[in-house]
Chains A and B, each alone.
Chain A
Amino acid sequence: MTAVRVAQVLLTAFFFGLTFEGIGRKVTARIQKRYGPPWYQNFIDVFKTLTKHGWTHGWIFDFGVLMALGGVIATLSFVPLGNLVAFPGLDNFFVIVYLFTVGALGMAMGMVGTGNPWASIGVARALTLMLGYEVPYLIVITSMLYFYKTSNISNIIAAQGEIWNIFRFPIGALVAFISLQGMLGKEPFEAPIAPAEIASGPMVELSAKYMGLLMLMNTFMEFVEISLFVDFFLGGGTYFVFLLKYLVVWILAVMISAVLPRFRIEQAVAFYWTVPILLAFLQAFLVINGWVF
């Protein structure tokens, strides 16, 4: 049964991840008064890249791409999608955070292995940005774990009951959403990708199937990040309710990104380390004193 559930989680991430990305592109287009691509455009993009004939840049590159995709798939299979949990009892926050670095490091290794300076700059920016958003995010999440005295995500979903955490920890939810924007690499925290500035950064040397695999990896990564947000703050729910909440969070993030320009990397880190980190400390202070709704 575990295999079936893992397959269900992965297929959900593949199908709905790409569909929601397509819907996100449509939303961006409508905000810019364009018609926009069809909702299935991202499927075509991924499959098209798989039909092209590309180049490898040595075994470090190959291995890095596989490690990135494999690491993210491993992470994804531990994330509970509402009440769909592939490994019941193992959906621990620390397991997910630990596995999450495997994918990120695989990507960093493979992309630096191309030898292109833009890729190194992009990876360096991505890691710098990570320093920025991880600190406030982890402060909020650890204060939540302290409040519920568990790090099991399913337990946290169950403990929320009728009152979602977004109402119990409004400040924390705001901080987590700002951090989520950085995790997704959406504007204004788009500096690691920056197509016109550093030629799409880490992806600069990716051709054909490597590009396709990295696009899938990116989709899965977004799925992990938004799923965590929905589980922690919006109370999970059944499979379809979960997807609905996911879609709302995703479209909100897309709408914010569609109207904002880009922070420089040092501005982004400076931003994260002033307002969100102070709010996160405030939330932690409230939780420690027991002042929670």
Chain B
Amino acid sequence: MSKIDERSVWEKIADQLRSRSMWMLHYCTGCGAVELPPSMTSRFDMERLGMGPMATPRQADIFLITGYLSAKTLRRVIYTYEKMADPKYVIGFGSCTINGGIYYDSYSTINRLDYYIPVDLYIAGCMPRPEAILNAFNQLMEMIRKGEANGWKRYKENYEWYKQNQLRSLGEVIVHDEFHE
């Protein structure tokens, strides 16, 4: 058992609580956002698992990245991820976050999300149905209880590696935007 998996008793209790109250920030710039309303509303009702959408990264626990992710969006995703409070969990949603999907040869979309930020769980499919989403959330709850969802620790430990990868693909992570400067 490595250092990263070690948990104190308090951490174990805290993980029980965290797994039952997951607030989600869904970053739906790609496709796939349309799969979330059915999983939130009466058909699948994710609120019975204690999950709910949250408005800002500060309050959120889960970062759900749906669909393809362009390089421009990746900068904002990194901003958002670093704004979230520890412990934070990332779910890559759809095959585009896994290997680029049908955008594998696009000049503007990344091919692999876990190269830039740690991903705890991937949901494969194009698009995953709400059943798959609910299954993934159950899996994530199980992982949090067992202490396996420790992407946020890995990000701290391998920060240099992630930063170097981000810089390699993006050139610069800082956003320069003519409309906001």
Contacts and interface: CB of A to CB of B under 8 A. Distances in A.
Check A-B contact in the complex, CB < 8 A. Answer: yes
Interface of A: 25, 29, 32-38, 41, 44-45, 47-48, 51-55, 195-196, 199-200, 203-208, 211
A29 B47 contact: yes
Contacts of A211: 58-59
Interface in B1-46: 10, 14, 17-18, 20-21, 41-42, 45
A276 B10 CA distance: 51
Interface class of chain B by DSSP: loop
Contact of B55 (A45, A47, A51, A200): A200
B50 A36 contact: no
A226 B86 CA distance: 35
Given A32-B41, A48-B17, A195-B54, 12 more contacts: A29-B47, A34-B47, A44-B20, A44-B50, A48-B21, A52-B18, A53-B85, A53-B87, A55-B58, A55-B85, A199-B55, A203-B56
Contacts of B10: 51
Interface in B82-117: 84-87
A48 B59 contact: no
A212 to B, nearest CB: 11
Which A-B residue pairs are the 4 nearest by beta carbons? A51-B14, A207-B85, A34-B45, A195-B55
Contacts of B84: 207
Contacts of A32: 41-42
24 contacts: A29-B48, A33-B42, A35-B45, A36-B48, A37-B47, A37-B49, A41-B20, A41-B21, A48-B14, A48-B20, A51-B10, A53-B86, A54-B58, A55-B85, A195-B53, A195-B55, A196-B55, A203-B56, A204-B58, A205-B58, A206-B58, A207-B58, A207-B59, A211-B59
Interface of B: 10, 14, 17-18, 20-21, 41-42, 45, 47-50, 53-56, 58-59, 61, 84-87
Which of A36, A48, A205, A211 is most buried by chain B, counting CB atoms within 10 A of its CB?
A48
A29 B85 contact: no
A49 to B, nearest CB: 8
B55 A54 contact: no
Contacts of A54: 58, 85
A23 to B, nearest CB: 14
Contacts of B55: 195-196, 199-200, 204
Contacts of B61: 48, 52
B21 A203 contact: no
Contact of B21 (A34, A35, A44, A200): A44
Contacts of A34: 41-42, 45, 47-48
Interface centre among B48, B49, B54 (most CB of A within 10 A): B48
Contacts of B50: 37-38, 41, 44-45
A210 to B, nearest CB: 9
Contacts of B21: 41, 44-45, 48
A148 B54 CA distance: 46
Contacts of A41: 20-21, 50
A195 B53 CA distance: 9
B33 to A, nearest CB: 13
Given A34-B42, A51-B14, A55-B85, A199 B56 contact: yes
